[in-house]
Amino acid sequence: MEITVTQAHGRVPVNILHLSGRIDASNYQTVVDRAKQLYDGGARDLLLDLSEVSFISSAGIVALHRTALLFRGERVEEEETGWNAIHAIDRDQGAGNQEHVKLFNPSPDVDRTLELVGFKGYFDFFTDLDQAVSAF
């Protein structure tokens, strides 16, 4: 997996985390760590570009959830793994769409996975970059 970061400016500055490759147990923590670096550096709005992600596992789902928690200003428990992490996502589903993290252009396979786990009601999804940036 590769990660690059760019910035866009709408009403507010938006950091775009471009992910490519597979997001799975071997690298999901790298996604969370990079998001945390951005947040700790002052970023408050994040667009996750999933257009080049070919596969997302349950660990990748956990990475997206933890990123949302970070950008809501919540503490992320690294010890929470396995089923505990999945149950934390289930408990948080009622939080509504995330104000500070949005998803951009997931591939059809990744989009299906995100829909199956209920993330269509948890994140705003965009296929147009300008609309995504303007949504913050």
What's the pLDDT band for 83 if we cut at 50, 70, 90? very low
Res. 110: pLDDT tops 80: yes
Q: Report the domain count for the chain.
A: 1
* Higher pLDDT, residue 83 or 86: 86
Q: Given the structure tokens 């938006």, which residue do they identify?
A: 14
Give me the helices (H) in the chain, please: 28-40, 58-71, 82-92, 108-116, 129-134
* Higher pLDDT, residue 77 or 55: 55
Res. 24: pLDDT tops 90: yes
Q: Which CATH number does the domain housing residue 129 bear?
A: 3.30.750.24
What's the pLDDT band for 76 if we cut at 50, 70, 90? confident
Res. 9: pLDDT tops 50: yes
What's the pLDDT band for 6 if we cut at 50, 70, 90? very high
pTM score: 0.88
Q: Work out the end-to-end distance of the chain between its first and last CA atoms, rounded to an integer number of angstroms.
A: 27
What number of other Cβ atoms are within 10 A of residue 53's Cβ? 22
Res. 103: pLDDT tops 60: yes
Res. 42: pLDDT tops 60: yes
Pick from 30, 116, 41, 115: which is nearest to 66 by CA? 30
pLDDT attached to residue 94: 61
* Higher pLDDT, residue 64 or 84: 64
By three-state DSSP, how is residue 61 classified? helix
pLDDT attached to residue 64: 95
Instruction: Provide the domain limits for residue 103.
Output: 2-134
